[in-house]
C-alpha cells in the first residue's frame, strides 16, 4: 500500500505544496520521513509486530507463557536473569525496539540492562531474520547450524559474563501459574489493540527521529566518511568485498536492509559461501538499528546506550574476523 499508493501520492502532494527541494527530500527522499520512517514503522514493522502481538496474546491468555518462563528459568539464571526475561526475548524476534520497551517488566536495573544488551547484540528482528534465512537456504545445513550455534553461544557467553560484571541485585522468581485454558477472542483483541497503541505512541516517534538524524548525516557526508573508515576493516579482517561496508552502514539504519544488501551481493555472485556466513554472523551481532538505539537511550540512559554500542561494534567484527580466520584456515566447505 505504501509503495504502490501512499508514497507516490505523497510525492505528488509534496511536489505541489513544497517548493524547496531540500524539504521535499526531507519528506519523500531516500531518507524521508514518509518514504522511510513511516513506511518502515507502519508498513513493514507494524504488521510483523502486530502478528507477534496476536500470537503473544494467545499464549498469554492460554496461560502458557508463565509455564514457559518456569521452564527456561534455570537456563536464564546463568545469565543473571530469571524466567520472566523470556518474554522480551521472544518479542525481540518481532521487533527489538518494542522488546526493549517491554523489558520494563523485569524488576531490577541489572536485569533490564542485561536483557537490553542481549536484544541489541544477538536477537534479529523478524524482517532481518527472514532475509538471513533466505541467504542460508542457499548454503549447506552445516552453515545454518554454525550460524545458529554461534549466535546462541554468543548470547549465553555474553549474558553470563554480563551477569558477573554488571553490579546490582537479581530478583527472586515468583510467578503464579494460572490454569491452562482456551484463549478468549475478546481478551486477545483488547490486549493486541492496547499493545499496537503502545507501539504507535512509543516506537514510531523514534523511527522518525532516527530518520531525521540519518538525513542530516547523509547531507553532511558523514555516512560516506564512516563507510570509508570501516572499509579496510571489512576487507582485511572480515575478508569481505569493500562494497559490503555499505551494508553494515545501512544495517544501522534498518537491520533488514543491511542483510538485504548482503543478499543482493550474494545473488550477484560477489560473495562466496564463507563470505556469506561471515557477513551474516557479523551483521546479526552488529549494532542495533537506530530506532532501537533511541529506545535504549530513552529506557536505559545515554551512558548505558553508548556503553552497549561501544561493546557491540568491535565485538561483532571480532567474532566475524575470528570466524573468517577459522573457516579459511581449516578450509571448511559450506
What's this model's pTM, rounded to 2 decimal places?
0.79
Does 25 score more than 80 pLDDT? yes
The pLDDT tens digits of the residues spanning 57-89 come to 898 899 888 888 888 999 999 998 998 899 899
Cα separation, 238 vs 234, in Å, equals 5
Q: Mean pLDDT: which of 37-51, 230-244, 253-267 is highest?
A: 230-244
Handedness of CA 89, 93, 96, 99 (dihedral sign): negative
Secondary structure (DSSP) of 103-136: GGGSSSHHHHHHHHHHHHHH---HHHHHHHHHHH
The pLDDT tens digits of the residues spanning 146-170 come to 999 999 999 999 999 999 999 988 8
Look over the chain and give the mean of its residue pLDDT values, rounded to a whole number. Answer: 87
Does 282 score more than 90 pLDDT? yes
Q: Provide the greatest CA pair distance for the chain.
A: 62
Is the model more confident about 1 or about 307? 307
Burial class (CB in 10 A: 0-12, 13-18, 19+), 156: middle
| Per-residue CA distances from 115 to 38, 145, 296 (Å) | 27, 24, 11
Amino acid at each position: 500500500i505504501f509503495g504502490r499508493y501512499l508514497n507516490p501520492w505523497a510525492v505528488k502532494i509534496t511536489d505541489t505544496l513544497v517548493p524547496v527541494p531540500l524539504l521535499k527530500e526531507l519528506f519523500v527522499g531516500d531518507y524521508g520521513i514518509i518514504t522511510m520512517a513511516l513506511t518502515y514503522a507502519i508498513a513493514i514493522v507494524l504488521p510483523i509486530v502486530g502478528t507477534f502481538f496476536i500470537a503473544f496474546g494467545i499464549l498469554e491468555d492460554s496461560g502458557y507463557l508463565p509455564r514457559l518462563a518456569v521452564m527456561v528459568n534455570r537456563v536464564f539464571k546463568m545469565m543473571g536473569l530469571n524466567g520472566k526475561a523470556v518474554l522480551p526475548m521472544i518479542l525481540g524476534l518481532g521487533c527489538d525496539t518494542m522488546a526493549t520497551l517491554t523489558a520494563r517488566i523485569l524488576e531490577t536495573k541489572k536485569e533490564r540492562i542485561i536483557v537490553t544488551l542481549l536484544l541489541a547484540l544477538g536477537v534479529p528482528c523478524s524482517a532481518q531474520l527472514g532475509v538471513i534465512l533466505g541467504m542460508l537456504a542457499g548454503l549447506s545445513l552445516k552453515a545454518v547450524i554454525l550460524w545458529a550455534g554461534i549466535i546462541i553461544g554468543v548470547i549465553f557467553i555474553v549474558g553470563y559474563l554480563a551477569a558477573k560484571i554488571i553490579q546490582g541485585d537479581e530478583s527472586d522468581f515468583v510467578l503464579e501459574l494460572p490454569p491452562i485454558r482456551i484463549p478468549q477472542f475478546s481478551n486477545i483483541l483488547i490486549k493486541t489493540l492496547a499493545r499496537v497503541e503502545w507501539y504507535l505512541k512509543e516506537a514510531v516517534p523514534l523511527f522518525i527521529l532516527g530518520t531525521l538524524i540519518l538525513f542530516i548525516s547523509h547531507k553532511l557526508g558523514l555516512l560516506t566518511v564512516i563507510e570509508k573508515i570501516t572499509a579496510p576493516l571489512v576487507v582485511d579482517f572480515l575478508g569481505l568485498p569493500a562494497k559490503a561496508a555499505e551494508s553494515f552502514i545501512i544495517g544501522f539504519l534498518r537491520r533488514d536492509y543491511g542483510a538485504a544488501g548482503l543478499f543482493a551481493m550474494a545473488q550477484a555472485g560477489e560473495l562466496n559461501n564463507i563470505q556469506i556466513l561471515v557477513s551474516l554472523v557479523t551483521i546479526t551481532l552488529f549494532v542495533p538499528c537506530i530506532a532501537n538505539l533511541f529506545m535504549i537511550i530513552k529506557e536505559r540512559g545515554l551512558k548505558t546506550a553508548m556503553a552497549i554500542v561501544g561493546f557491540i561494534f568491535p565485538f561483532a567484527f571480532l567474532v566475524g574476523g575470528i570466524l573468517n580466520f577459522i573457516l579459511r584456515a581449516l578450509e571448511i566447505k559450506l
